[in-house]
Amino acid sequence: MSDLTHIDKDGNAQMVDVSSKDATERTATAKGSVIMSADALKRISAGGVKKGDVLSVAQLAGIMGAKKTPELIPLCHPLSLSSVKVELAINNDRNAVDITATCKLVGKTGVEMEALTAVSVAALTVYDMCKAMDKSMRITDIRLVHKDGGKSGEYVAD
């Protein structure tokens, strides 16, 4: 018998049964960055990217990514998200676009995967829209920085 939550006693994949859990307010925030050349970052800031407004398109893509998480991640519960907020900011000191996503709901399971997916999809969108300008871009440091709600309570990253 396995102690793994996504494996049943026979070794088969399973979605965790959350039916006995209490519905609570849950939030999760994730962050990540796309590191690029100073020239590419300047062009994003100036609106000089041929494919369009990079930050606005990536923000929308991140929100859509959060909503599509159960279609992308096996065994992830489909959730009724009450809020998805994705913010992108230019960081000239690091030649980066920094991305933060916060997801919220009242439910029986957390929203960490949705927040992480939102950041990931937003970062991939920045990359896609800017790859012609800078093939050396790096998507980096995607991580959970905060979660709250549920039995495990609050987590704040160092």
**In this structure, what token pair is assigned to residue 102?**
């916060």
* Active-site entry in 3, 53, 98, 128: 128
For the chain, first and last CA: distance in Å? 35
**CA angle in degrees (0–180, nearest 5) for 144-8-148:** 25
Phi, psi of 65 (to 5 degrees): -60, -45
Place of tokens 């987590």: 155
Is 128 noted as a catalytic residue in this protein?
yes
Q: Enumerate the active-site residues.
A: 128
